[in-house]
Structure 1
Amino acid sequence: MIPFNKALPYDITMGDVYVPECPFCGRENILIPMKPREIKSVREGKKKLLVFPCCYHKLTVLDSDDDYLLTDTVVR
C-alpha cells in the first residue's frame, strides 16, 4: 500500500514538471528541477535528490507513478 503522507502529486506541462504546492513553504505551482525522463528513471529504481527552488528544502524521490512522487519525507 502506498503511504500517501509521503506522496507528492505532480503534473507535466510542456516538458516541465510542476507540483501544485510546496510542502515546506506553501507556495503554489512550483517548477521543480526534474525532467520527465528523470521521473521514468525513478520509476525504474534510481533515487533522485530534489531541492525545491522556492525554499531550498531537500527530499529524496524514491519511486513514481503517473500522478505521484513517493518521497522519503512526510509531505502531507
Structure 2
Amino acid sequence: MIPFEKALPYDVMMKDVYVTCPFCGTDHVLLPLKPADLKSVSSGAKRLLVFPCCHSRVTLVDADKDYLLTDTDLHRLH
C-alpha cells in the first residue's frame, strides 16, 4: 500500500513533468525530470529531486503512473 503522506501527484504534458510544490505551494512547477527518468525510478533507482521554485529537495524512491514516492512526509509541511 502506498503511504500517501509521502506521495506527490504529478502530470506529464508534452514530455515534461509537472507538480504542485509541497514546500512553497507553487502550482504547475516544471520538474527537472523526463518520463524516461520516471521509469528508472520505478525500477528501483533513487533520485534526488530539487524543486526549481524554492530549492527544497527530496529523494524519489519509487514512481507509478500517478504518484512520485519520496522519503519525506510531504503532507505535514503546510
Q: TM-score, length-normalised on structure 2? A: 0.94
Listed as ranges, the gaps of 5+ residues in structure 2 are none
Aligned to 1:45: 44
Aligned to 2:16: 16
RMSD across aligned positions (CA):
0.5
Regions of 4+ moved over 6 Å: none
| Cα distance in 2, alignment partners of residues 46 and 72 from structure 1 | 13
**Percent of aligned positions that are identical:** 61
**Post-superposition offset of 1:51:** 0.1
Q: TM-score, length-normalised on structure 1? A: 0.96
